[in-house]
Chains A and B, each alone.
Chain A
Amino acid sequence: MANSLETQLVTKQYENAGQTIFAVDKVTINVKPGEFVALIGPSGSGKTTLLALLAGLLRPSNGSINIDGHPLWKMSDRERTKFRSEKIGFIFQSSNLVPYLSALENVELMLKLNGRLDKPGRDWAMELLDQLGLKDRMANLPSQMSGGQQQRVAIARALVHEPAVVLADEPTASLDTERAYQVVQTLGTLIHAQKRAGIMVTHDLRMTRWVDKVIRMTDGKVAQIIESKGEIEAFSRGSDH
């Protein structure tokens, strides 16, 4: 199966007071459709910077990034913005929903951006929210929902336009443990079921329970890739870090 996401020796370096800082250093990773990957590491290890590079929000200093077979950094800015709305789904930390749009409107926004908000598109958005247990919350504004409910709306928004890749930046940062487990489990389930390539940045090792691969970063480099189910299980219990 072809990879949905591929990076080749991606590097992001900054010059600071005459010193070169490698925020991301020669990172090569692949994620297949239906694969859910956790990107972990201590603060400053470069995981969020890598996510920004994968999202096409930050230009790499070196290396290449392909999403669904398209080289991200050979596109113009306008093409990349359009590409993001079509091929990438985002889940950010907290407060990432448009505050003046209802849950359904927030989800529909992705379809609207892609010119796909027709009747079947609306039905699909409603079905996704229904699957996420938000059937009765569709007309609610973000301010009328709990943090967990908001993140589930964000999951629906990230998946509704059927992207190749779903990028999640600390999606459980503002949630209590119970809600955090529910959100990650749901995200994983949907990523597997819909065959999306999912990458989740997290500093909470317990959240790796539902992923297929763990990539541990240190000082901008990939320090370890864990793919065995048993190792991931152990990792998620915090026994190996």
Chain B
Amino acid sequence: MVTDTIQTGVRPVSGKSRRYRTQLGLPVPIHLALKEVWRNKGRFFLISSVVALITLLVLFIAGLTEGLGQGNREYIENLNAQLVVYQDKADLSIPTSRMSQATVRQLRQVDGVEAVGAVAFSNVSIPLPGGKAPLKVSLIGVLPGEPGEPDVTQGRALRSKRADETVIDAGVASRTGLKVGDMLTVRSTLGSKEQLYDLRIVGIAPSSQYFIAPSIFVPYITWDKVRPQPLSTLETGQDPDVSFNVAAVRLKNPSDAPAVSKIINAKVKEIVAVNLQTAYENTPGYSAQQSTLGLMRVFTLLIGLLVIGGFFRIQTMQKVAQIGVLKAIGTSSASVAVSSIMQILTINSFGVLLGAIMTFGLAAGLPSAVPIRFVGSAVISSVASLLVIGPLGGLASIQVLLKAEPLRALGLAS
């Protein structure tokens, strides 16, 4: 039962006789910060949830940036070559570039070049059973045994230039369930007609996405037969010497790449040789996509900064009188400021942790077709940015705290 009686009998205790002993509890700033958070769990959980949602968005954008980037560059990045050679007028665009066998022969003659492989790109789809949407894949034509052909982890590499066989990458294998020895049907078009081709799977390569699609590799001649093509090509007869896109060049000494690329550019006409990084950065849409996603990430962080800053500033302004009382009774401005910073760090860190857990939980449940990929460096830089925006946003409220006058406690603030 609650008593409401004041006892007038006083039992004075002399504090002077007491000796200081072990201090109980946390230091004042931490004590105040954590007590306020604990006793206002609902309000602070709300702002932590907002931080968590911003974290979710930032990490998803980082994951998408990496996933889409990888989807565009994976094949080129993992080429067993050091240089990619384009037609000079193609402006480093693989679909636009056209090269001839004669050029490949010339490239093989350049000092320092070990091997050259012609690589041709196109797109086909793989019909899937059970009424599922067909799987769109990059169809990559390579010369067996030459640069451009992927390493295989199961089965064997391509052997013949014209055999109806294919090496599929791990992405195709996991999404179709196909394995070495199975027949793979690809759907292509000839003019306006649909054409189906059966290919025997002889090997499985590591994931080698190109143009945000998993890849299947076929011998160059087979590629020329399977790829979608207009009727006019057949009617007019195609020139077998001009139908691949780029050449992959492997060097005797990989560290000679800058020097050899200069020699190639000087000795072989109408081509341009670049390293792998320049090659994938010039994949159509790659740079625009990466910079757009990067910008989205920056804007999301800015929004987070404003939201957190706004919340803590409003909250601090509502507490000015209370802060005045704390200062009047002898709490230093530094203690009040440290308490606020502690609070911001706690709320922000909890929000980021919650957001990270939500992100990884959600990502685990996403279909494999969603190009999202979390890599250590991108996740760490995103989390670090999110941890920094909390205290940064809170700086505005610290200014209010420091300016709060203890005179407010007496209603006398200037």
Contact = CB atoms under 8 A, between A and B. Distances in A.
Interface in B218-270: none
Interface of B: 1-16, 18, 20-25, 28, 31-32, 35-36, 38-40, 321-322, 325-332, 406-407, 409-412
Interface stretch (A1-9, A94-102, A215-223, A225-233): A94-102
Interface of A: 48-49, 51-52, 55, 57-58, 78, 81-86, 88, 90, 92-93, 95-96, 98-101, 105, 108-110, 112-122, 124, 127, 130-137, 141, 146, 148-149, 152, 157, 161-162, 169, 182, 185-186, 189-190, 193-195
B8 A122 contact: no
A78 to B, nearest CB: 7
Chain A binding surface SS class: helix
Contact of B20 (A118, A135, A157): A118
A96 B411 CA distance: 11
A162 B4 contact: no
Nearest to A84: B330
B25 A185 contact: no
A86, A112, A121, A122 interface centre (most CB from chain B within 10 Å):
A112
Contacts of A141: 39
A92, A134, A190 interface centre (most CB from chain B within 10 Å):
A92
Given A52-B410, A115-B20, A135-B3, A193 B35 contact: no
B24 A119 contact: yes
Nearest to B9: A131
A13 B10 CA distance: 41
B19 to A, nearest CB: 8
A49 B327 CA distance: 17
Contacts of A189: 8, 10
A58 B24 contact: no
A210 B414 CA distance: 33
Contact of B6 (A57, A132, A146, A162): A132
20 contacts: A57-B328, A57-B406, A81-B331, A81-B332, A85-B331, A90-B328, A92-B409, A93-B411, A99-B39, A100-B40, A101-B32, A112-B25, A112-B31, A130-B7, A131-B10, A133-B5, A136-B2, A146-B4, A149-B4, A186-B6
Contact of B411 (A48, A82, A84, A186): A48
A162 B39 CA distance: 29
Contact of A52 (B14, B38, B327, B407): B407
